[in-house]
Amino acid sequence: MHATLPYLENSDFPALNRRAPATLQVNLGYRCNQTCVHCHVNAGPNRTEVMDRETVGDLLAFMDAGEVQTLDVTGGAPELNPHFRELVAAARERGVHVIDRCNLTVLEEPDQDGLAEFLAENRVEVVASLPCYQEANVDSQRGQGVFDTSIRALRRLNDLGYGDGDAGHLLTLVYNPLGPSLPPEQGQLEAAYRTHLAEEFGVAFDRLFTIANMPIQRFGSTLISHNQFDDYLALLKGAHRDTNLEGVMCRDLLSVDWQGYVYDCDFNQMLDLPLAREGHPDRVHIRDLIGADLAGNPVVVRDHCYGCTAGQGSGCGGALG
């Protein structure tokens, strides 16, 4: 699909340079127990790409040689990788904060016994997708029955200490718009989520992230099929704020794919836009960056980057401003 996307070659997005990476965001594979309409990874149950143990070792070597503070694991459903718990435990032993990008329903998969308890015991932050607090909207975006399963999973996490304000058991929910629009104001939406989930389901959480849908992969294809791609890109560009450039995630984060190759962000990874590194004309592997100084390295930017600077701005850590 890349050839159909007009922003891959040229862009007027402002130039950016990296700081030293504080977060290592790792895609453990594209296998997922869900197939969501907005998924920028094209993940699903039939995907077979999975990170192997050797590459997990490369990640740990990178952490040992640098100043990584946070390991942010994603997928697909990262928990379906057979080395997920090994990686998480090893990172925690090194004093690294771990974030699990969890779709919630994976907690009820038959081969995931004890997963919720493992996350709690290792004080893993759970960042959980819940694109709306209403059942019909969630199921239309993520699949029939997903909302009910997600509520059960959230209650289970609450029982284990998540969502009660303990910094060691942070529970963050993630909102994505249902279509080609910008997210609403994060603080106001968080308050609405908190009230509704508490009153209707007895569910508590610590914070809400709002993240704009990127016009790439599955969501990008949907926009093209509905002749909405150009309008959505124009919306993102028109809502750009220079003040958001300081906080975009690509300046402090390294994104690693399931094979160990490195990108400036997860979205560039999905568009096969690798990290630009002098002396490396092709893709750069994480093992080649062990001990490297990346501060000042230019970020690869294209027009999809406006998705991170539009409106309040957004990234894997929610709104920027």
Percentage of the chain beyond pLDDT 90 is: 71
pLDDT in tens, 68-79: 999 999 988 999
Task: Please tell me the pTM assigned to this model.
Answer: 0.91
So what's the pLDDT on residue 3? 40
Beta strands of 106-246 (E only): which ranges? 125-129, 171-175, 207-210
Average pLDDT over residues 80-98: 97
pLDDT of 41 > 80? The answer is no
- What phi and psi, each to the nearest 5 degrees, are found at residue 105? -65, -20
Find the CATH number of the domain harbouring 261: 3.20.20.70
So what's the pLDDT on residue 188? 95
- Name the average pLDDT for the chain: 90
Average pLDDT over residues 102-118: 94
So what's the pLDDT on residue 299? 96
Q: How far is 81 from 75, CA to CA, in rounded Å?
A: 9
Amino acid at 112: Q
Question: Residue 303's closest CA among 257, 217, 205, 234?
Answer: 234
pLDDT band, residue 37 (cuts 50/70/90): low
Domain extent, residue 200, equals 2-319
Beta strands of 32-146 (E only): which ranges? 70-74, 97-102, 125-129
So what's the pLDDT on residue 72? 98
How many domains does the chain contain in total? 1
